[in-house]
Structure formats: structure tokens, C-alpha cells
Amino acid sequence: MRSVTTRDDPPRVLAPYVRVGFQDGTLFLGFGSIRRPVHDRELWEPLLRLADHFRAPRTRAEARSFLDGPCGADAHRAEAVMRLLDDGNHLIPAHTYDPADRYSRHALFYELSGADAVQVQLRLARARVTLLGCGGIGGLVAVTLATAGIGELVLVDADHVELSNLTRQFLFTEADIGLPKAEVLARELRRRNRDCRARAVVRRVGNREDLKALPACDLVVVSADSPGLTGTVNAHCARSGTPWLNACYVNEIAVWGPLVVPGVTGCWDCRSLTAGAPEGEPELSGLMAGINARYQAPSNGPVNMLASSLAALDVLRHLGGFGVPASLNRRVGVWSHDLSLDGQDTERDPACPTCSLTGLPVERVR
Ligand SMILES: [Zn+2]
């Protein structure tokens, strides 16, 4: 057998998220994205023996010796079962999982996506995220990012906590009513992860100058409901090359995306994403403006959680470099009553008045 060094052949273990099961005449190795049906009865025993062997750290050379020796598999079966374990993120580096580590369960999630968990965590720790809006969605995105190990969060909101916020803004308590949301949120995030630097900015942000006054960051999350803010942020981020993501709800639909990465994806202005007033119809436009001015969204705790959790996962995917964000080049909506999906394409328009002028190189990602 070819001798190998530890560097070429590091010890690996069977990932703790690998379960095996038998159903309807088939053996299943793993569940979810790593599930592999094994129909060939001849492979079941060597596969289970090899998986059992990998409960302790093993190099590939040790595994081959085991298959050739105590396991007693012939060359064909040995190759087949080794490939089954190798191909689907079933084996992870021996050092990856330390149950006592703060981020140990997240590390398994990153490995499940095929990423190096140590590198993902380092990238998250180096990242700074700005949240425009610290309400139902912004607060839940913030706590998800802070507890996942994002290094710094800039929390921007001019509002104060009100009694009617408490159905969905779960980090605020009755004792916080009247206090600035950004400051209360920063306090709550520090309580949950002392390593996350949470900075409160109690200020209304409405124009480009307001945005330029904020510290530069790696990504902006917009969940404030001020009219026109998404367009302003989009233009600012296109010029500064800053990725950004919108998260909101439209009545009972939880909405997130598009995740705009300047120079890589389309932007908010590449496609018409929201309904507006008819051109050349001032009377109708005036009536519509009057009707819409009294709109109050029926905000609901679970719908806020749905939008914020899916948005936060895409932020972590983008900044951590694991998996593919679901909202790249599309705005996604989940209808909470029947779980159907709505999607709006936001592929880049080469003639877009906003992002075509930035001069950033385009790298197609989807
Ligand atoms: Zn564009």
C-alpha cells in the first residue's frame, strides 16, 4: 500500500449528523441533503462496518487497511463503500466537533454544507453588519447574527419601544417601553454574546448622506419601513460596493431578498419589484397615494420570525462562505398560510440605471 503523510491524509471521523436507516428494502446513509439510498444488499455490511470504523478518527490509509483486512470486503465493494462515505460530506476533519465549544452545532451545519467550519467561523468573526431597523425583523436578524458569532453589528433605529411592539419584538420587555430600540437591542445582544461588538445608532436614516455617515461594513440588512429607503440603500451600496439584503413582510407573506452583491448579482433597480403609481395618471395616482397613506401592515410574530430567520441564514451563508444564499438574484416570499413560495427574478439588467454605472466587474453566480 502507498504510504501517505498525515498532511496528505488527515484523520477524519463520521460526522455526528450521519444517521443510517432501513426502509422499504433500502438502506439509507444519512438524511436530508446527504441522504444516499443504498439498494445493493452486498454493500450494506461493509458500509456499516466502515461507518462504524470511522466513529474514531481514521486516515484514508487506515480505512483501506480495515476494508482489506478485518472488514473482509473485496476490492469492488471496498471502493464502492469508501466512495459513498467520501462523496457526501459524511466524513469531517477529526478536530471539527467539540461539543463544549460555543459554536459546535453550527460547525456541524457548515460541514454539512461542505465548508470548512473553522474558516467559516473566522470569516463571521471578522464581519461587520449594519442593520437599518431594529424592530420585529431587524431585532430577530440581529440576535441570530450575534449568537452565530458575527464580529460587529451596527444597530440603526430612531424609534423607541412601544407596548404594541411586544407581540413580535421579542428581545424587548415591558420594562423597556419608552427606551430607544437600538440601545435596548445592543444591551440584549451583549448579554447573549460578549464577543459580538453591538453598537447602537439612535438616528433616522433617510438619504445618502445619512448612510455615508455610518461606518463602512461588509453587508447591510434593511428592515425599516420608511418609504423609499430600499432604493436609497441600493444606490448607496452600488456605489460603495457593499452587499445588502432586504427583509420584510407583505401582510401574511414573509419576504426576503434579493441579496444584492454589487458586481455579482442584479440589484433592486434591475427589475420592477414593487407596484407603483401609473405614469401619466395624476388623478389616479393621487387617489392611490391617499389610500396607501393609511396602510398599516398586520404584523405578526411568526411571520416576522419566518422572514428574519431566512434572511439571517442568507447573510450567514454569504459572509461565512457556506452553501448558496437562496435569495441571490431573486426576491423570495413564503406564504405563511399554505407555505407556497413566490419568487421574483432579479437577474442583472445590463442597462440598469443604478448598477450598470458602477464599473464593478460582473461575476455571474447563478
Ligand atoms: Zn441594477
**Distance from the CA of 137 to the center of ligand 1, in angstroms?**
25
The average pLDDT across 269-280 equals 86
Q: What angle do CA 24, 114, 101 make, to 5 degrees?
A: 105
**Distance from the CA of 225 to the center of ligand 1, in angstroms?**
21
* pLDDT over 70 percentage in the chain: 96
Report for 55-64, 141-150, 266-275: range of highest mean pLDDT:
141-150
**Distance from the CA of 341 to the center of ligand 1, in angstroms?**
24
pTM of the model: 0.92
**Distance from the CA of 271 to the center of ligand 1, in angstroms?**
7
The larger pLDDT score, comparing residue 82 to residue 73, is at 82
Q: What is the DSSP annotation of 108-133?
A: HHHHHTT--HHHHHHHHHT-EEEEE-
234 pLDDT tier (thresholds 50, 70, 90): very high
Residue 38: pLDDT over 80: yes
**Distance from the CA of 297 to the center of ligand 1, in angstroms?**
28
**Distance from the CA of 219 to the center of ligand 1, in angstroms?**
17
**Distance from the CA of 79 to the center of ligand 1, in angstroms?**
49
The average pLDDT across 176-204 equals 97
**Distance from the CA of 234 to the center of ligand 1, in angstroms?**
9
Pick 126-357's CATH classification: 2.40.160.20, 3.40.50.720, 3.40.50.2300, 3.40.50.300: 3.40.50.720
pLDDT in tens, 89-112: 999 999 889 999 999 999 999 999
**Distance from the CA of 281 to the center of ligand 1, in angstroms?**
26
Residue 288: pLDDT over 80: yes
**Distance from the CA of 360 to the center of ligand 1, in angstroms?**
12
| pLDDT for the residue numbered 304 | 96
pLDDT in tens, 134-156: 999 999 999 999 999 999 999 99
| pLDDT for the residue numbered 362 | 58
The average pLDDT across 258-287 equals 90
Q: Which DSSP helix (H) or strand (E) runs through 136?
A: helix 136-148
The average pLDDT across 273-302 equals 88
Is residue 330 within 8 A of residue 345, CB to CB? The reply is yes
The closest of 246, 217, 248, 241 to 230, measured between CA atoms, is 246
Residue 80: pLDDT over 90: yes
**Distance from the CA of 268 to the center of ligand 1, in angstroms?**
6
- Domain locations along the chain: 12-93, 126-357
| pLDDT for the residue numbered 2 | 46
The larger pLDDT score, comparing residue 359 to residue 327, is at 327
| pLDDT for the residue numbered 5 | 54
**Distance from the CA of 244 to the center of ligand 1, in angstroms?**
13
According to DSSP, the residues that pair with 259 across neighbouring strands are: 245, 328
**Distance from the CA of 175 to the center of ligand 1, in angstroms?**
44
The average pLDDT across 294-312 equals 93
How many whole angstroms separate alpha carbon 144 and alpha carbon 125?
A: 14
**Distance from the CA of 348 to the center of ligand 1, in angstroms?**
6
300 pLDDT tier (thresholds 50, 70, 90): very high
**Distance from the CA of 227 to the center of ligand 1, in angstroms?**
19
Q: How far is CA 295 from CA 41, 154, 275, 315, 324, in A?
A: 62, 29, 14, 29, 35
**Distance from the CA of 9 to the center of ligand 1, in angstroms?**
46
**Distance from the CA of 110 to the center of ligand 1, in angstroms?**
31
**Distance from the CA of 267 to the center of ligand 1, in angstroms?**
4
Residue 7: pLDDT over 90: no
**Distance from the CA of 269 to the center of ligand 1, in angstroms?**
5
Q: How far is CA 343 from CA 262, 304, 347, in A?
A: 20, 18, 12
Fold type of domain 12-93: Outer Surface Protein A; domain 3 (3.90.930)
How many whole angstroms separate alpha carbon 41 and alpha carbon 29?
A: 13
